[in-house]
Amino acid sequence: MTKDARLDLVLLLDLNGVNPNVGPALQNDLVAAQRASLEKLVWFFSGLKLTRGLQIDWRIKICGFGDLTQQAEEWFYNPPFAQSGAVVLAQLKECLNQCRNHGGPGSLLDALFTIANMGETNPENASDPQKWRPRGGAARVVLFFSPNAFRKLMAIPEAAGGRVEDVITAIMVKRVILWGFCPELQGYMDLASAARAEIELIAMSANNPLLSRLEESTSVGGESELSSVRAFVVSGLIEKLNGPDFVWTDIIGKRVGGLCSNLRPNEWNRIRDVLSSDNGSREILDETIEIGREHVSASKVGTSEIGSCE
């Protein structure tokens, strides 16, 4: 009997949002784009087994980070893993409701370090929604989205003063696969050096020479110049999220399909063959998403299942 392919997936959002000088319209567009694309992704996972008989034993949770230096009490939205699409979408709604028009550097490193070190379930015990499944028992993936720079030093007590190399060590030791959509800034390029990390650029310095100023503690140029750079980056993320092939190509095809060498090769290879099929791949996606949407819409969610801020 072929065993399920297992996936623990954390979707990590930057809750600092868009700088107020850029304007509320882009903030609203960014939230709408994140909601629409991630809803499709959740619907896809919810419908995959129903439409294709593929055995992906998935758990997903939606996390969000702010700026720990400014929001000591509620900087991190970190609910438990869920295996219900309806619960995951409820988490997404709660997370997006906490977006702030800040647009400054966030505590991404603190969030990644915390997620990597959430602990893991003993193989002899039942799965714990607050922890990763046993090492080797499921692919561990963190997929993050951010249009902002991040703070270079961690501030959480267990890793205060830690830097990007400490986060890289943590995610590699814990065998976490890191995927990210972010601007071309040095901090993100450093994160990309982690084993199996994949960083996709939403804005590049070749298209805007002022991009590196997002990482500077003080801007050399005027606020109007910096606002233009911020708008350029946010627009790039919105365009990526709204792209017609974002869920299918950028997430499902390139990345979920790329997990085929992990853990349970037979089942992962079946998944890869379906996802990479040239014959009707768009139809596969549309059908799976629609079936998943109907299934999720028919489900009910208890308040205690959603989770809350840390």
Residue range 62-117, pLDDT digits in tens:
999 999 998 877 899 999 999 999 999 999 999 999 988 777 899 999 999 999 99
Predicted local confidence at residue 135, as pLDDT: 86
Is position 250 within any domain? yes
pLDDT at 304 over 80: no
Q: Which domain holds residue 57?
A: 5-211+226-293
Is position 218 within any domain? no
pLDDT above 70 covers a percentage of the chain that reads 80
Predicted local confidence at residue 272, as pLDDT: 59
Predicted local confidence at residue 218, as pLDDT: 43
Is position 307 within any domain? no
Q: How many domains does the chain have?
A: 1
What is the mean pLDDT of the segment spanning 27-40? Answer: 94
Q: How far is CA 202 from the centre of its chain?
A: 14
The strand pairing partners of 231, in sequence order, are: none
Is position 216 within any domain? no
Contact assessment for residue 12 and residue 145, using Cβ atoms and an 8 Å cutoff: yes
Single-letter amino acid, residue 210: L
CATH of the domain at 231: 3.40.50.410
Is position 300 within any domain? no
Q: In 3D, which of 31, 234, 11 has the Cα closest to residue 143?
A: 11
CA separation (Å) from 237 to 34, 41, 242? 9, 17, 9
